[in-house]
């Protein structure tokens, strides 16, 4: 399964009816179905897909600032782990990893990207700023994730940080880009570079223990509605933006 980041076709701004439209429970629920149950490039059976094992991450760099790239990855994975509860660790060898993140040169037709991606993924990489791909088993458990970021291409469009944030996050199971949902990084028509409060809630929903891999819309719907009711009573929905902004990545927006 492939998901890529393209250059934005347009910019969507907040509506005059208030920036908190996304705190509506039905909006969150419908947005979850849009990004979790649909595929960006491929038609899929609409079921819940997520990781059920720790993430073992192999980081590879052949272009750009390696130290910066490693910091971006490490910081973002720490945030994702805090939100989802998924354990994460970096491993030194490719064969130890179930997650591979590659910062490559722009022209890599026979290099590492070609070895790591499927033919469909490699083709889409040529049309995208950056790209992620996942594999899952018959139980809809994600078992492999790959992210490829051609560094100069991403940097020339100001998309290095968005590529890390969006592609790595989508690899957790929120695999579709929505043309309707905002504010979110799961969109090619908005300019959100960091996880939003809505993204925080979508990730927490996906990794709620009550949601199991393979669940259909009909099976997941009552679970999601109960969870959102609980979060509304506890104030989590209204504090989501403050909680997600605690990541050190947000200091980049102040530079």
Give per-residue pLDDT as tens, 138-164: 999 999 999 999 999 999 999 999 999
**Counting runs of H as helices and runs of E as strands, what totals does the chain give?**
9, 6
| Sign, CA torsion 200/36/99/86 | positive
Give per-residue pLDDT as tens, 168-216: 999 999 988 888 899 999 886 777 889 999 999 999 999 999 999 999 9
Give the angle 129-48-234 at the CA atoms, nearest 5°. Answer: 100
Q: What is the mean pLDDT of the chain?
A: 87
Cβ contact 162:131 at 8 Å: no
Cβ contact 85:173 at 8 Å: no
188 Cβ neighbours under 8 A, 6+ residues apart: 5, 6, 7, 8, 9, 177, 179
User: Distance (Å, rounded) from C-alpha 184 to C-alpha 199?
Assistant: 6
Q: Is the pLDDT of residue 94 over 90?
A: yes
In sequence order, what DSSP letters do the residues of 78-100 get, joined into one string?
HHHHHHH---EEE-SSGGG-SEE
User: According to the model, what pLDDT value does residue 51 have?
Assistant: 98
Q: Would you place residue 110 in the very low, low, confident or very high pLDDT band (cuts 50, 70, 90)?
A: low
Q: By percentage, how much of the chain surpasses pLDDT 70?
A: 87
Q: Would you place residue 220 in the very low, low, confident or very high pLDDT band (cuts 50, 70, 90)?
A: very high
Q: By percentage, how much of the chain surpasses pLDDT 90?
A: 68
Classified as helix, coil or strand, 103 is strand
In this structure, the strands spanning 130-136 and 88-90 are unpaired
Give per-residue pLDDT as tens, 13-60: 333 334 489 999 999 999 999 999 976 555 678 899 999 999 999 999
In 3D space, the residue among 161, 199, 152, 158 whose CA is nearest the CA of residue 177 turns out to be 199
Cβ contact 200:112 at 8 Å: no
């Amino acid at each position: 399964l492939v998901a890529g980041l393209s250059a934005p076709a347009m910019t969507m701004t907040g509506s005059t009816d208030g920036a908190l439209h996304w705190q509506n429970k039905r909006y969150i629920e419908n947005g979850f179905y849009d990004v979790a149950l649909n595929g960006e490039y491929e038609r899929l059976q609409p079921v819940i897909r997520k990781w059920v094992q720790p993430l073992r991450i192999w980081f590879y760099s052949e272009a750009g600032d390696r130290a910066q790239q490693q910091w971006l990855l490490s910081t973002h994975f720490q945030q994702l782990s805090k939100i989802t509860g998924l354990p994460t660790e970096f491993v030194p060898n490719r064969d130890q990893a179930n997650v591979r993140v590659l910062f490559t040169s722009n022209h890599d037709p026979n290099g590492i990207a070609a070895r790591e991606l499927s033919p469909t993924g490699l083709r889409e990489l040529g049309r995208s700023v950056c790209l992620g791909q996942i594999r899952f088993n018959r139980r809809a458990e994600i078992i492999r994730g790959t992210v490829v970021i051609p560094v100069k291409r991403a940097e020339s469009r100001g998309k290095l940080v968005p590529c890390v944030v969006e592609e790595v996050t989508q690899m957790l199971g929120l695999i579709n880009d929505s043309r309707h949902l905002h504010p979110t990084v799961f969109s090619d028509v908005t300019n959100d570079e960091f996880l939003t409060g809505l993204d925080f809630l979508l990730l927490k929903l996906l990794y709620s223990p009550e949601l199991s891999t393979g669940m259909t819309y009909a099976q997941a719907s009552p679970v999601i509605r109960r969870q959102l009711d609980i979060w509304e009573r506890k104030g989590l929905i209204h504090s989501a933006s403050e909680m997600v902004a605690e990541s050190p990545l947000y200091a980049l927006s102040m530079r």
